[in-house]
A and B are shown apart, each in its own frame.
Chain A
Amino acid sequence: MKNKRSLFAVPYVGWMALFVVAPIVMVVIYAFTAAGGGLTLENFSRMGSYAVVFTRSFHLALIATAICLLIGYPVAYMISREGPGLQRVAMMLVMLPMWMNFLLRTYSWMSILENTGLLNRFFSAIGLFKLLNTVFGTDLEYFAMINTKGAVVLGMVYNYLPFMILPIYSVIAKMDGSLLEAARDLGANSFGVFRKVILPLSLPGVLSGVTMVFVPSVSTFAISKLLGGSNELLLGDLIEQQFLGTAYNPYLGSAIALVMMVIVVVCMALMNRFGEGEEQAVML
């Protein structure tokens, strides 16, 4: 009887085979194909020269993820401590920016950060540069914020912060209140409760938050183009270039994508061994 109901999953399993598994098989096939056809490992042997791009992307994505965690965790925690009405409003406010296209929001940061942008205009209007120049004898006209690595990291943090807050919040909000009371009754102070009870229990949320921030950060290409001025390629740029850009070579592009995917999967698997590898999604 029970098995019969499982037939409901058949259409989706078929769909997954077609549109989830098959495409990845395609990537693998392409990665091992030479531009002229035929099996080859050449695409991977060229990977060495892209090692810098790999380290740079992973480095920036790690920083962005760390910052997201440092901001996102306290925010999620604080929201969960508010009254139910305020909680609902706050969670909506976290989701709402996604309704404004992410490219536009990123573009808007460009207006803010440019040398002649809003922030620099504001600083110069309040006389900050004049002050600094007279104090330090420099001749600053603006802070160079755009087209730097910092701007790229800012773009990542900005765009993916909600993905950190949402899963952490949903885990903390579901926590059993009596557990916390029990801990307190047993003499734990509020820091102790947090460290001994809340933090370990919220770990699954943290893990899925980290995944959801890290993966898009490591593979972004629009952010580095808009805020980084295409000065330093990230993995996403490299892959995009091979498929739709100046260096058309889908075979090499597939190989790079494949290597990136494998590294990410390995990282995630390692990380999930620390927490319970329970499936966790963004939940409202």
Chain B
Amino acid sequence: MKKGGIFLNRVFMALVFLFLYAPIFVLIVFSFNDSKSRTVWNGFTLRWYVELLQDRQIMNALSTTLLVSLLATVIATAAGTMAAVGFFNMKKRWRSPLLAINSIPMTNADIVTGVSLCLLFVAFFGGWETFARWLNGAQSLFHLPARLHMGFGTLLIAHVTFNIPYVLLNVMPKLRQMDKNLIDAAQDLGCTWMQAFWKVVLPEIKPGIVSGALIAFTMSVDDFIISYFTAGSGASTLAMVVYGMTKLRISPKINAISSLLFITVLTLLVIVNVREARQEKQIAQRRL
């Protein structure tokens, strides 16, 4: 009975993973298809991978995506960790409402976040234009650009905004779990608070920071809706290029670049996993 249950469980899990990976498998297979068709197999080719390297639009989008995700992750991780320390030391009366605001970007629909940021930016640009014209007219020492537009900057702001909450909520529990006496002990031993933070607190909350950063990065790469509303005409991420293409026909080149990204991440994860497993085994053996 028990054995059968486990077997059935595994079958169920396998089916769920099949469901999750079937479309990805289809995508990867058809990136090698020797025609533009999405459903008919016409033979094996690598031509999409070759053409990919010459496609300026896709390459630009790839670099925008990576750059914005990376910068947003770094900024959000630093800011989120700092904010978590601040929140942790705050009185509950203040912390609770602030945490509620913090969770807005996570629980709000992406489209509302995107649209509201877009409205804010447009309103800000309008105000800026008036201000810059007034200032440029009033003095001649320096000249401010009057017209701003959405682009990489606004995209980055949006990504940072929706990334910080994830970092914060991953770091907070680690701070709470930490033994508070540790800081006191460090300070008693002559550390300043800052030193204590770097030497004691940071190593303790590191797992939280890392997983927060990882989630932030993944969210940034995967995001489409918020980028769509905040990048304007100035920058396109890979997701936006894909959306543009879903209205046309998806170029197999997009399948190719996505397959490459996917396989890269997969390989890295596998390598790291195998290594960790091996290390664990070694440690276990040494103990014996």
Complex A–B touching at CB under 8 A: yes
**Restricting to A1-52, which residues have a CB under 8 Å from any CB of B?**
2-13, 15-16, 19-24, 26-27, 30
Cβ-defined contact, B224 with A111, below 8 A = no
User: In the complex the two chains form, what is the Cα distance from A92 to B271 in whole Å?
Assistant: 13
Cβ-defined contact, B246 with A103, below 8 A = yes
Of A112-120, A127-135, A196-204, the stretch lying at the interface with chain B is A112-120
Distance in Å: Cβ of A205 to nearest Cβ of chain B:
14
Distance in Å: Cβ of B174 to nearest Cβ of chain A:
10
**B205 at the A interface (CB under 8 A):** no
Complex interface: chain A residues within 8 A of B104 (CB): 20, 24
Cβ-defined contact, B218 with A99, below 8 A = yes
Q: Per-residue 0/1 for B81-117: is the Cβ within 8 Å of any A Cβ (1 yes, 0 no)? A: 0110111111100100011011111111111110111
User: In the complex the two chains form, what is the Cα distance from A88 to B90 in whole Å?
Assistant: 35
Cβ-defined contact, A11 with B22, below 8 A = no
Cβ-defined contact, B116 with A108, below 8 A = no
Of B49-57, B127-135, B260-268, the stretch lying at the interface with chain A is B260-268
Chain B interface, number of residues (Cβ within 8 angstroms) = 89
Chain A interface, number of residues (Cβ within 8 angstroms) = 91
Cβ-defined contact, A104 with B27, below 8 A = yes
Cβ-defined contact, A3 with B89, below 8 A = yes
Closest to B80 in A: A12
Distance in Å: Cβ of B140 to nearest Cβ of chain A:
31
Distance in Å: Cβ of A17 to nearest Cβ of chain B:
9
User: In the complex the two chains form, what is the Cα distance from A96 to B35 in whole Å?
Assistant: 28
Cβ-defined contact, B120 with A244, below 8 A = no
User: In the complex the two chains form, what is the Cα distance from A211 to B104 in whole Å?
Assistant: 12
Complex interface: chain A residues within 8 A of B44 (CB): none
**A105 at the B interface (CB under 8 A):** yes
Closest to B116 in A: A23
User: In the complex the two chains form, what is the Cα distance from A261 to B116 in whole Å?
Assistant: 12
Distance in Å: Cβ of B228 to nearest Cβ of chain A:
8
The prevalent SS among residues of B at the interface is helix
**A216 at the B interface (CB under 8 A):** yes
- The verdict on A111 contacting B26 (CB below 8 Å), with A6-B86, A23-B119, A211-B107 known, is yes
- The verdict on A111 contacting B39 (CB below 8 Å), with A20-B161, A105-B24, A284-B211 known, is yes
**In the A-B complex, the 4 residue pairs with the closest CB atoms:** A9-B86, A8-B86, A219-B109, A23-B116
Q: CB within 8 Å of B: which residues of A? A: 2-13, 15-16, 19-24, 26-27, 30, 71, 74-75, 78-79, 81, 85, 88-90, 92-112, 114, 116-118, 121, 158, 161-162, 211, 215-216, 218-219, 221-222, 225-226, 236, 239-240, 243-244, 250, 253-254, 257, 260-261, 264-265, 268, 279-284
**Sample of 25 A–B contacts (CB below 8 Å):** A6-B90, A8-B86, A12-B79, A13-B83, A20-B101, A27-B112, A90-B13, A95-B218, A96-B266, A98-B222, A99-B262, A102-B224, A103-B224, A104-B255, A108-B27, A111-B38, A114-B39, A117-B39, A161-B16, A161-B19, A215-B108, A260-B112, A261-B112, A264-B109, A282-B166
Given A254-B115, A257-B111, output 7 extra A-B contacts at Cβ < 8 Å: A6-B91, A9-B90, A12-B82, A90-B13, A216-B110, A244-B228, A265-B107
